[in-house]
Amino acid sequence: PVSTKESGSQHLELLDLTPLAESTFSLVPIQPSRYHTLQVRRPKVERPRRNSEPLGGRSFDTGQQWRSGLQFGVVTSYLNLEKLGDGAYSTVFKGISRINGQLVALKVIRLKTEEGIPFTAIREASLLKGLKHANIILLHDIVHNSETLTFVFEYVQTDLAQYITQHPGGLRPNNVKLFMFQLFRGLEYIHQQRILHRDIKPQNLLLTYLGELKLADFSLARAQSVPSHNYSSEVVTLWYRPPEVLLGSTDYSAALDVWGAGCVFVEMLEGVPAFPGTTDACELLQMIWRVLGVPTEDTWPGVSQLPNYRAGQWPGDLLGRLSRVAEDLAGQLLRCAPKDRLSAAETLRHGYFSLLPPVLLQLTLEIKNEGSLCVPAPTRQLKVPMSP
Protein backbone atom coordinates (compact mmCIF):
# COMPACT_ATOMS: atom_id res chain seq x y z
CA PRO A 1 0.00 0.00 0.00
CA VAL A 2 1.15 3.52 -0.77
CA SER A 3 0.24 6.35 1.57
CA THR A 4 -0.11 10.06 1.04
CA LYS A 5 -1.12 12.77 3.46
CA GLU A 6 -3.85 14.96 2.02
CA SER A 7 -6.37 17.11 3.96
CA GLY A 8 -5.62 15.23 7.15
CA SER A 9 -6.70 11.84 5.82
CA GLN A 10 -4.79 8.89 4.47
CA HIS A 11 -5.04 7.48 0.97
CA LEU A 12 -3.46 4.75 -1.10
CA GLU A 13 -2.88 5.30 -4.75
CA LEU A 14 -2.53 2.18 -6.80
CA LEU A 15 -0.14 0.82 -9.36
CA ASP A 16 -1.09 -0.10 -12.90
CA LEU A 17 0.83 -3.34 -13.37
CA THR A 18 0.07 -3.75 -17.07
CA PRO A 19 3.34 -2.21 -18.39
CA LEU A 20 5.63 -3.56 -15.66
CA ALA A 21 6.73 -6.55 -17.68
CA GLU A 22 7.65 -4.30 -20.58
CA SER A 23 9.20 -1.23 -19.02
CA THR A 24 11.10 -0.09 -15.96
CA PHE A 25 9.03 1.07 -12.98
CA SER A 26 9.14 4.82 -12.50
CA LEU A 27 8.40 7.01 -9.50
CA VAL A 28 7.39 9.99 -11.68
CA PRO A 29 4.13 11.47 -10.33
CA ILE A 30 1.09 11.17 -12.58
CA GLN A 31 -1.54 13.88 -12.56
CA PRO A 32 -5.01 12.77 -11.37
CA SER A 33 -6.56 13.57 -14.74
CA ARG A 34 -4.41 10.92 -16.39
CA TYR A 35 -5.42 7.88 -14.38
CA HIS A 36 -8.56 6.11 -13.29
CA THR A 37 -9.52 5.55 -9.67
CA LEU A 38 -12.44 3.76 -8.10
CA GLN A 39 -15.61 4.83 -9.86
CA VAL A 40 -18.87 4.86 -7.93
CA ARG A 41 -21.92 5.09 -10.16
CA ARG A 42 -23.38 8.57 -9.92
CA PRO A 43 -27.15 9.13 -10.02
CA LYS A 44 -28.57 11.22 -12.86
CA VAL A 45 -30.16 13.63 -10.40
CA GLU A 46 -27.61 15.81 -8.67
CA ARG A 47 -27.26 14.85 -5.03
CA PRO A 48 -27.80 17.58 -2.43
CA ARG A 49 -24.57 16.73 -0.63
CA ARG A 50 -21.08 15.99 -1.94
CA ASN A 51 -17.75 15.24 -0.36
CA SER A 52 -16.52 18.61 -1.57
CA GLU A 53 -19.57 20.28 0.01
CA PRO A 54 -20.11 18.27 3.21
CA LEU A 55 -22.80 20.62 4.51
CA GLY A 56 -24.84 20.46 1.30
CA GLY A 57 -24.03 24.01 0.25
CA ARG A 58 -24.94 25.64 3.56
CA SER A 59 -22.74 28.52 4.59
CA PHE A 60 -20.42 28.13 7.55
CA ASP A 61 -21.70 31.53 8.66
CA THR A 62 -25.17 30.20 9.49
CA GLY A 63 -24.09 28.86 12.85
CA GLN A 64 -22.27 25.68 11.78
CA GLN A 65 -18.62 26.67 12.03
CA TRP A 66 -15.51 24.67 12.83
CA ARG A 67 -14.55 25.45 16.40
CA SER A 68 -11.12 24.75 17.75
CA GLY A 69 -12.49 24.82 21.30
CA LEU A 70 -14.75 21.77 20.83
CA GLN A 71 -13.62 18.58 22.52
CA PHE A 72 -13.45 14.94 21.57
CA GLY A 73 -15.88 12.61 23.29
CA VAL A 74 -18.80 15.09 23.07
CA VAL A 75 -21.83 14.40 20.88
CA THR A 76 -22.18 18.07 19.87
CA SER A 77 -18.76 17.90 18.19
CA TYR A 78 -20.25 15.93 15.28
CA LEU A 79 -23.06 16.58 12.80
CA ASN A 80 -25.11 13.86 11.07
CA LEU A 81 -25.38 14.38 7.32
CA GLU A 82 -27.19 11.26 6.11
CA LYS A 83 -27.95 7.68 7.09
CA LEU A 84 -25.74 5.07 5.42
CA GLY A 85 -27.29 1.89 6.80
CA ASP A 86 -28.98 0.03 9.64
CA GLY A 87 -27.81 -3.02 11.55
CA ALA A 88 -29.36 -5.21 14.22
CA TYR A 89 -27.94 -3.11 17.05
CA SER A 90 -26.61 0.03 15.39
CA THR A 91 -27.10 2.66 12.69
CA VAL A 92 -24.29 4.15 10.61
CA PHE A 93 -24.38 7.79 9.53
CA LYS A 94 -22.18 9.90 7.32
CA GLY A 95 -21.18 12.87 9.44
CA ILE A 96 -18.75 15.71 9.80
CA SER A 97 -16.53 16.80 12.65
CA ARG A 98 -17.18 20.32 13.88
CA ILE A 99 -13.67 20.26 15.37
CA ASN A 100 -11.77 20.14 12.09
CA GLY A 101 -14.33 19.80 9.27
CA GLN A 102 -13.35 16.25 8.30
CA LEU A 103 -15.93 13.76 7.09
CA VAL A 104 -16.49 10.87 9.50
CA ALA A 105 -18.60 7.73 9.79
CA LEU A 106 -20.72 7.59 12.94
CA LYS A 107 -21.67 4.11 14.18
CA VAL A 108 -24.44 4.74 16.70
CA ILE A 109 -25.17 1.79 19.02
CA ARG A 110 -28.51 1.94 20.79
CA LEU A 111 -28.27 1.17 24.50
CA LYS A 112 -30.86 -0.61 26.61
CA THR A 113 -31.22 0.77 30.13
CA GLU A 114 -31.44 -2.64 31.77
CA GLU A 115 -28.44 -4.09 29.89
CA GLY A 116 -25.99 -1.18 29.68
CA ILE A 117 -23.17 -1.14 27.12
CA PRO A 118 -23.01 -4.38 25.07
CA PHE A 119 -19.91 -6.41 25.79
CA THR A 120 -19.27 -6.80 22.05
CA ALA A 121 -19.09 -3.00 21.70
CA ILE A 122 -16.61 -2.76 24.59
CA ARG A 123 -14.47 -5.44 22.97
CA GLU A 124 -14.62 -3.79 19.54
CA ALA A 125 -13.57 -0.44 20.97
CA SER A 126 -10.72 -1.89 23.01
CA LEU A 127 -9.33 -3.73 19.98
CA LEU A 128 -9.64 -0.84 17.52
CA LYS A 129 -7.98 1.65 19.87
CA GLY A 130 -4.81 -0.42 19.66
CA LEU A 131 -4.83 -0.98 15.87
CA LYS A 132 -3.04 1.70 13.86
CA HIS A 133 -2.40 0.59 10.30
CA ALA A 134 -3.05 2.00 6.82
CA ASN A 135 -5.24 -0.99 5.91
CA ILE A 136 -7.32 -0.97 9.11
CA ILE A 137 -10.27 1.37 9.61
CA LEU A 138 -9.24 4.18 11.95
CA LEU A 139 -11.23 4.87 15.13
CA HIS A 140 -11.10 8.61 15.83
CA ASP A 141 -13.31 9.02 18.85
CA ILE A 142 -15.90 7.42 21.17
CA VAL A 143 -18.96 9.32 22.41
CA HIS A 144 -21.13 7.91 25.21
CA ASN A 145 -24.37 9.18 26.70
CA SER A 146 -27.33 7.60 28.46
CA GLU A 147 -29.03 6.44 25.23
CA THR A 148 -26.28 5.70 22.71
CA LEU A 149 -22.65 4.74 22.27
CA THR A 150 -21.14 6.28 19.14
CA PHE A 151 -17.93 5.19 17.43
CA VAL A 152 -16.42 7.90 15.21
CA PHE A 153 -14.48 6.38 12.30
CA GLU A 154 -12.67 7.84 9.34
CA TYR A 155 -15.09 8.15 6.42
CA VAL A 156 -14.54 5.74 3.51
CA GLN A 157 -16.63 6.13 0.38
CA THR A 158 -17.62 2.56 -0.60
CA ASP A 159 -16.95 -1.12 0.05
CA LEU A 160 -15.75 -4.06 -1.99
CA ALA A 161 -19.23 -5.62 -2.25
CA GLN A 162 -20.59 -2.50 -3.99
CA TYR A 163 -17.53 -2.29 -6.22
CA ILE A 164 -17.94 -5.93 -7.34
CA THR A 165 -21.62 -5.29 -8.06
CA GLN A 166 -20.70 -2.29 -10.23
CA HIS A 167 -18.28 -4.43 -12.27
CA PRO A 168 -20.15 -7.65 -13.19
CA GLY A 169 -18.13 -10.56 -14.51
CA GLY A 170 -15.18 -10.03 -12.18
CA LEU A 171 -12.67 -7.29 -11.54
CA ARG A 172 -9.55 -6.60 -13.57
CA PRO A 173 -6.73 -8.95 -12.46
CA ASN A 174 -4.36 -6.06 -11.67
CA ASN A 175 -6.91 -4.48 -9.35
CA VAL A 176 -7.60 -7.82 -7.68
CA LYS A 177 -3.91 -8.22 -7.03
CA LEU A 178 -3.63 -4.81 -5.41
CA PHE A 179 -6.73 -5.34 -3.26
CA MET A 180 -5.47 -8.75 -2.13
CA PHE A 181 -2.07 -7.32 -1.30
CA GLN A 182 -3.64 -4.70 0.94
CA LEU A 183 -6.05 -7.20 2.53
CA PHE A 184 -3.21 -9.50 3.54
CA ARG A 185 -1.10 -6.61 4.79
CA GLY A 186 -3.98 -5.78 7.12
CA LEU A 187 -4.47 -9.42 8.14
CA GLU A 188 -0.76 -9.88 8.75
CA TYR A 189 -0.83 -6.87 11.07
CA ILE A 190 -3.80 -7.96 13.20
CA HIS A 191 -2.57 -11.55 13.36
CA GLN A 192 0.77 -10.29 14.65
CA GLN A 193 -1.27 -8.55 17.36
CA ARG A 194 -2.91 -11.95 18.06
CA ILE A 195 -6.33 -10.71 16.92
CA LEU A 196 -8.81 -12.71 14.83
CA HIS A 197 -11.24 -10.67 12.72
CA ARG A 198 -13.72 -13.55 12.32
CA ASP A 199 -15.91 -11.88 9.68
CA ILE A 200 -13.94 -11.40 6.47
CA LYS A 201 -16.33 -10.61 3.59
CA PRO A 202 -16.57 -7.95 0.85
CA GLN A 203 -19.00 -5.82 2.87
CA ASN A 204 -16.36 -5.40 5.59
CA LEU A 205 -13.60 -4.34 3.19
CA LEU A 206 -13.92 -0.59 2.60
CA LEU A 207 -12.48 1.19 -0.44
CA THR A 208 -11.55 4.82 -0.88
CA TYR A 209 -11.92 6.54 -4.26
CA LEU A 210 -8.15 6.15 -4.70
CA GLY A 211 -8.33 2.39 -4.23
CA GLU A 212 -7.10 2.05 -0.66
CA LEU A 213 -8.58 -1.00 1.05
CA LYS A 214 -9.37 -0.91 4.77
CA LEU A 215 -10.45 -3.80 6.97
CA ALA A 216 -13.54 -2.77 8.98
CA ASP A 217 -16.26 -4.04 11.36
CA PHE A 218 -14.46 -5.62 14.29
CA SER A 219 -17.70 -6.43 16.14
CA LEU A 220 -16.94 -10.18 15.99
CA ALA A 221 -13.17 -9.85 16.46
CA ARG A 222 -11.43 -11.56 19.36
CA ALA A 223 -7.97 -11.41 20.86
CA GLN A 224 -6.36 -14.83 21.05
CA SER A 225 -5.58 -15.87 24.61
CA VAL A 226 -2.52 -17.74 25.85
CA PRO A 227 -3.11 -20.59 26.41
CA SER A 228 -5.83 -20.70 23.78
CA HIS A 229 -9.35 -21.74 24.69
CA ASN A 230 -12.57 -22.54 22.86
CA TYR A 231 -14.34 -19.81 20.91
CA SER A 232 -17.86 -19.51 19.56
CA SER A 233 -18.64 -21.38 16.35
CA GLU A 234 -21.32 -18.78 15.45
CA VAL A 235 -18.88 -16.48 13.67
CA VAL A 236 -18.25 -15.39 10.07
CA THR A 237 -21.03 -14.81 7.57
CA LEU A 238 -22.09 -18.23 6.30
CA TRP A 239 -20.78 -18.04 2.72
CA TYR A 240 -17.29 -17.16 4.00
CA ARG A 241 -17.23 -19.56 6.95
CA PRO A 242 -14.38 -22.11 6.88
CA PRO A 243 -14.92 -25.89 7.06
CA GLU A 244 -13.63 -26.27 10.63
CA VAL A 245 -16.27 -23.82 11.91
CA LEU A 246 -19.01 -25.37 9.75
CA LEU A 247 -18.07 -28.72 11.27
CA GLY A 248 -18.58 -27.29 14.76
CA SER A 249 -14.99 -26.63 15.83
CA THR A 250 -14.54 -24.04 18.59
CA ASP A 251 -10.75 -24.28 18.62
CA TYR A 252 -9.65 -22.31 15.57
CA SER A 253 -6.82 -19.98 14.59
CA ALA A 254 -5.90 -17.18 12.18
CA ALA A 255 -6.49 -19.69 9.37
CA LEU A 256 -10.18 -18.82 9.79
CA ASP A 257 -9.52 -15.33 8.39
CA VAL A 258 -7.34 -16.73 5.61
CA TRP A 259 -10.23 -18.90 4.37
CA GLY A 260 -12.51 -15.87 4.22
CA ALA A 261 -9.86 -13.94 2.28
CA GLY A 262 -9.57 -16.85 -0.15
CA CYS A 263 -13.32 -16.74 -0.76
CA VAL A 264 -13.11 -12.98 -1.38
CA PHE A 265 -10.21 -13.59 -3.80
CA VAL A 266 -12.25 -16.00 -5.93
CA GLU A 267 -15.28 -13.67 -5.80
CA MET A 268 -13.27 -10.71 -7.09
CA LEU A 269 -11.92 -12.75 -10.02
CA GLU A 270 -15.18 -14.54 -10.91
CA GLY A 271 -17.70 -11.84 -10.02
CA VAL A 272 -19.79 -14.23 -7.90
CA PRO A 273 -19.27 -15.73 -4.42
CA ALA A 274 -17.18 -18.88 -4.27
CA PHE A 275 -19.76 -20.83 -2.24
CA PRO A 276 -23.12 -19.01 -2.59
CA GLY A 277 -26.81 -19.59 -2.50
CA THR A 278 -27.45 -21.48 0.72
CA THR A 279 -28.51 -20.67 4.27
CA ASP A 280 -27.79 -24.14 5.60
CA ALA A 281 -24.38 -25.12 6.96
CA CYS A 282 -24.67 -28.75 5.79
CA GLU A 283 -25.47 -27.67 2.23
CA LEU A 284 -22.53 -25.28 2.26
CA LEU A 285 -20.23 -28.09 3.41
CA GLN A 286 -21.42 -30.20 0.50
CA MET A 287 -20.62 -27.34 -1.89
CA ILE A 288 -17.11 -27.11 -0.42
CA TRP A 289 -16.59 -30.87 -0.65
CA ARG A 290 -17.68 -30.82 -4.31
CA VAL A 291 -14.86 -28.39 -5.04
CA LEU A 292 -12.11 -29.52 -2.70
CA GLY A 293 -13.03 -33.12 -1.94
CA VAL A 294 -14.04 -34.54 1.42
CA PRO A 295 -11.20 -34.50 3.97
CA THR A 296 -10.15 -37.73 5.63
CA GLU A 297 -8.13 -38.55 8.72
CA ASP A 298 -5.10 -38.83 6.43
CA THR A 299 -5.48 -35.31 5.01
CA TRP A 300 -6.93 -33.68 8.14
CA PRO A 301 -6.19 -35.56 11.37
CA GLY A 302 -9.08 -35.31 13.83
CA VAL A 303 -11.69 -34.17 11.28
CA SER A 304 -13.93 -37.19 11.85
CA GLN A 305 -14.24 -36.23 15.52
CA LEU A 306 -15.80 -32.83 14.78
CA PRO A 307 -19.53 -32.65 15.62
CA ASN A 308 -20.90 -32.04 12.11
CA TYR A 309 -18.60 -34.31 10.06
CA ARG A 310 -20.24 -36.46 7.38
CA ALA A 311 -18.57 -38.68 4.78
CA GLY A 312 -19.05 -38.38 0.99
CA GLN A 313 -17.18 -36.97 -2.00
CA TRP A 314 -17.98 -35.10 -5.21
CA PRO A 315 -15.72 -33.80 -8.02
CA GLY A 316 -15.21 -30.07 -8.35
CA ASP A 317 -13.92 -27.56 -10.92
CA LEU A 318 -14.20 -24.08 -9.36
CA LEU A 319 -10.48 -23.37 -9.09
CA GLY A 320 -9.77 -24.66 -12.59
CA ARG A 321 -11.32 -21.53 -14.11
CA LEU A 322 -8.64 -19.20 -12.71
CA SER A 323 -5.22 -18.38 -14.15
CA ARG A 324 -2.46 -20.76 -13.15
CA VAL A 325 -0.82 -18.53 -10.53
CA ALA A 326 -4.19 -17.34 -9.16
CA GLU A 327 -5.40 -20.94 -9.00
CA ASP A 328 -2.28 -21.90 -7.06
CA LEU A 329 -2.79 -19.12 -4.51
CA ALA A 330 -6.53 -19.81 -4.14
CA GLY A 331 -5.78 -23.48 -3.70
CA GLN A 332 -3.36 -22.75 -0.86
CA LEU A 333 -5.80 -20.37 0.84
CA LEU A 334 -8.83 -22.65 0.49
CA ARG A 335 -7.45 -25.79 2.13
CA CYS A 336 -9.84 -27.82 4.23
CA ALA A 337 -7.31 -28.45 7.00
CA PRO A 338 -6.55 -25.11 8.73
CA LYS A 339 -2.91 -26.03 9.34
CA ASP A 340 -2.38 -26.47 5.58
CA ARG A 341 -3.46 -22.92 4.65
CA LEU A 342 -0.94 -20.18 4.06
CA SER A 343 -0.60 -17.53 6.74
CA ALA A 344 -1.09 -13.87 5.85
CA ALA A 345 2.68 -13.31 5.93
CA GLU A 346 3.32 -16.36 3.70
CA THR A 347 0.65 -15.21 1.27
CA LEU A 348 2.42 -11.89 0.74
CA ARG A 349 5.51 -13.84 -0.40
CA HIS A 350 3.55 -15.93 -2.93
CA GLY A 351 4.50 -15.66 -6.60
CA TYR A 352 1.11 -14.12 -7.36
CA PHE A 353 2.48 -10.82 -6.03
CA SER A 354 5.88 -11.12 -7.72
CA LEU A 355 5.16 -8.38 -10.29
CA LEU A 356 4.39 -5.79 -7.64
CA PRO A 357 7.25 -3.28 -7.41
CA PRO A 358 9.51 -3.87 -4.37
CA VAL A 359 8.87 -0.30 -3.21
CA LEU A 360 5.45 -1.42 -1.94
CA LEU A 361 7.11 -3.72 0.59
CA GLN A 362 9.24 -0.91 1.97
CA LEU A 363 6.55 1.68 2.71
CA THR A 364 5.66 2.60 6.28
CA LEU A 365 2.12 1.56 7.20
CA GLU A 366 2.06 2.38 10.90
CA ILE A 367 -0.20 5.22 12.03
CA LYS A 368 0.70 7.41 14.96
CA ASN A 369 -1.44 9.35 17.44
CA GLU A 370 -1.51 13.11 17.81
CA GLY A 371 -3.68 14.01 20.78
CA SER A 372 -7.08 12.33 20.68
CA LEU A 373 -7.25 12.15 16.89
CA CYS A 374 -5.30 9.49 15.01
CA VAL A 375 -3.51 10.80 11.93
CA PRO A 376 -1.41 9.07 9.26
CA ALA A 377 2.30 8.81 9.77
CA PRO A 378 4.15 10.78 7.08
CA THR A 379 5.33 8.64 4.20
CA ARG A 380 6.89 9.25 0.83
CA GLN A 381 4.30 10.37 -1.74
CA LEU A 382 3.94 8.17 -4.78
CA LYS A 383 1.20 8.76 -7.34
CA VAL A 384 0.46 5.74 -9.47
CA PRO A 385 -2.44 4.64 -11.71
CA MET A 386 -5.06 1.96 -11.26
CA SER A 387 -6.71 0.04 -14.07
CA PRO A 388 -10.27 1.18 -14.87
**240 vs 360, which has greater pLDDT?**
240
> What pLDDT does residue 294 have?
83
Residue 380 lies in a domain: no
Whether pLDDT at 55 is above 50: no
Whether pLDDT at 362 is above 80: no
> Are residues 205 and 332 part of one domain?
yes
- Domain span including residue 114: 66-156
Residue positions annotated with a catalytic role: 199
Instruction: Determine the Cα–Cα distance for residues 79 and 76; give it in Å rounded to an integer.
Output: 7
pLDDT band at residue 13, thresholds of 50, 70 and 90? very low
pTM for this prediction? 0.75
107 labeled binding residue? yes
Q: 188-208 pLDDT, tens per residue?
A: 999 999 999 999 999 999 999
pLDDT band at residue 235, thresholds of 50, 70 and 90? low
> What pLDDT does residue 57 have?
45
Q: Which distant-in-sequence residues (6+ apart) come within 8 Å of 354 by Cβ?
A: none
**215 vs 251, which has greater pLDDT?**
215
> Are residues 300 and 267 part of one domain?
yes
**86 vs 36, which has greater pLDDT?**
86
Residue 376 lies in a domain: no
Q: Which of 59-63, 190-194, 295-299 has the lowest mean pLDDT?
A: 59-63
- Average of per-residue pLDDT values in the chain: 77
- 25: burial class by Cβ within 10 Å (0-12, 13-18, 19+)? middle
**What is the arithmetic mean of pLDDT over 349-354?**
93
Instruction: Determine the Cα–Cα distance for residues 342 and 307; give it in Å rounded to an integer.
Output: 25
> Are residues 252 and 112 part of one domain?
no
Q: Which amino acid is at 123?
A: R
Please report, for the domain that includes residue 122, its CATH number: 3.30.200.20
How many structural domains compose the chain? Answer: 2
